[in-house]
């Protein structure tokens, strides 16, 4: 298990950003971030190598990602290979 502490700051531009965190292709968190926030996140199912952590948001338009049958617009902020 990996424990992360994320300190986040957001601004309101037609709504607060909706944070999405994915770890090894599994969505582990989805939350609206208003102003400043500190989040504690635990990453389970850690692989020996090639772990992938993606931090992004889905209510600001840059890219499109498909979850099941729904298309969601995703802005990828950070991609980390562990």
Convert the pLDDT of each residue in 46-67 to its tens digit: 988 888 888 888 776 544 455 5
**39 vs 6, 31, 44, 68, 77, CA distance in Å?**
5, 10, 16, 27, 16
Please report the pLDDT score of residue 63 as a whole number.
Answer: 47
Distance from C-alpha of 20 to C-alpha of 60, rounded to nearest angstrom? 12
Distance from C-alpha of 57 to C-alpha of 74, rounded to nearest angstrom? 6
What is the residue-averaged pLDDT of the chain? 77
Two tokens at 67? 């979850």
Please report the pLDDT score of residue 64 as a whole number.
Answer: 46
**Beta-bridge partners for 78:** 55
- pTM to 2 decimals? 0.71
* Each residue's pLDDT tens digit, 9-42: 887 877 888 888 989 989 999 999 899 889 999 9
């Amino acid at each position: 298990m990996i424990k992360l502490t994320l300190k986040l700051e957001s601004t309101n531009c037609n709504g607060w950003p909706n944070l999405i965190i994915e770890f090894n292709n599994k969505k582990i968190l989805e939350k609206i971030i208003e102003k400043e926030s500190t989040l504690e996140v635990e990453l389970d199912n850690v692989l020996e190598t090639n772990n992938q952590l993606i931090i992004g948001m889905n209510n600001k338009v840059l890219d499109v990602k498909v979850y099941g049958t729904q298309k969601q617009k995703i802005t990828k902020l950070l991609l980390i290979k562990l």
